[in-house]
Amino acid sequence: MKLLFVVDPLAGLKPHKDSSVAMMRAAAARGHEVHAAEAAQLYIRLGTACADCDALEIFPDDTWYRILRRREWRLADFDAVVMRTDPPVDTDYLLATHLLGIAEANGARVLNRPSALRDFNEKLVILNFPQFIAPTLVAAARVEIEAFLLEHRDIIVKPLTEMGGAGVFRLTHTDPNRNAILETLTRHGRRPIMAQRYLPEIMDGDKRILLIDGEIIPFALARIPQPGETRGNLAAGGTARAQPLSDRDREIAEAIAPWAKDHGIFLAGLDVIGVCLTEINVTSPTGFQEITAQTGVDVAARFIEAVEHA
């Protein structure tokens, strides 16, 4: 197969932890051609979606790639185009999904589907599964958020477009920065944010559960917060512990897996704290390398195998 990975700049990817690197290594190990491009290198010429793509040679060490050549390709000439650009889901990201949508209309196979990347905000999408979530509010008005805080006493507030724990705050009524935090996150009441009841089970980890083409990886990656921190995200300093899925984890995953597959979400990362679903990551779910290193389950190889057989 000839595969294109639409990623952030290659030089900034971390070979020891980045799931995109693991995917490319697994693809190369199985004899596939690996190409890469950034979202800004996508374009449409005479109605055809193209990109200036780097053909890569992939290595197992820290110097993990070499660019062999760059040339223009029609996206439809690839067996699969894997969209792995990190959030924020801003105007540039959304425009890239529109270009990938044109590629799909040209006959390209894009994973995840561009329409799914646009339609399913990673925070808001949990509202499709109310049976699994903690009390949740989405609002821009401070009066609504304050009322939610008064009811639940201890809450988490977060923006709807970020990743890696960016902009996530724990709030109580005694927090002297409460007003400033809400003004900043909501842009003075002009942008909705999400508020959720604080889940003390975060101390046992924010669990990442991976779904690949409707199949459930049997281990979750629990991201454990640092002392004094309420965010388990690895980007926020959390430590990673792979563990078997609990009965509740599997119940949530089994409910969401067929829905994700039906909606063109080939790869999803479910975030679960305690018994509550908190996010469904569809842009660039991570955790592949940590799960593989701790359990021996080669998640990246499973991903490439699924691409081969789908």
Chain centroid to CA 268: 7
Q: Is 281 a catalytic residue?
A: yes
- Three-state secondary structure along 105-125? HCCCCEECCHHHHHHCCCCHH
* Local structure of residue 128 (DSSP, 8 states): G
Catalytic, out of 25, 271, 290, 302: 271
Catalytic residue among 123, 178, 207, 302: 123
Which of these is catalytic: 18, 54, 279, 290? 279
DSSP E strand boundaries for the chain: 2-6, 33-37, 42-45, 48-58, 65-74, 80-83, 110-111, 136-139, 154-158, 169-172, 193-197, 206-212, 215-216, 219-224, 239-244, 267-273, 276-281
- Residue 30 annotated to the active site: no
208 annotated active-site: yes
Does the active-site annotation cover 123? yes
Q: Which of 25, 84, 113, 158 is catalytic?
A: 158
State how far the Cα of 268 lies from the Cα of 26, in Å rounded to an integer. Answer: 18
Residue 119 annotated as catalytic: no
Query: Which residue among 25, 84, 223, 302 is the active-site one?
Result: 223
Residues ≥6 apart with Cβ < 8 Å to 147: none
Q: Is 205 left (phi over 0), alpha (psi -120 to 50) or beta?
A: left
Catalytic-labelled residue, pool 84, 113, 207, 208: 208
231, 249, 290, 302: the catalytic one is 231
Beta strands, E only, 226-296? 239-244, 267-273, 276-281
Q: What's the rounded Cα separation, in Å, for the pair 74 and 281?
A: 28
SS3 285: coil
207 given a catalytic annotation: no
Determine which one of 112, 121, 233, 281 is catalytic: 281
- Exposure of 62 in the CB half-sphere (CA atoms within 13 A): 0
Q: Is 158 a catalytic residue?
A: yes
Catalytic residue annotation: 123, 158, 208, 223, 231, 271, 279, 281
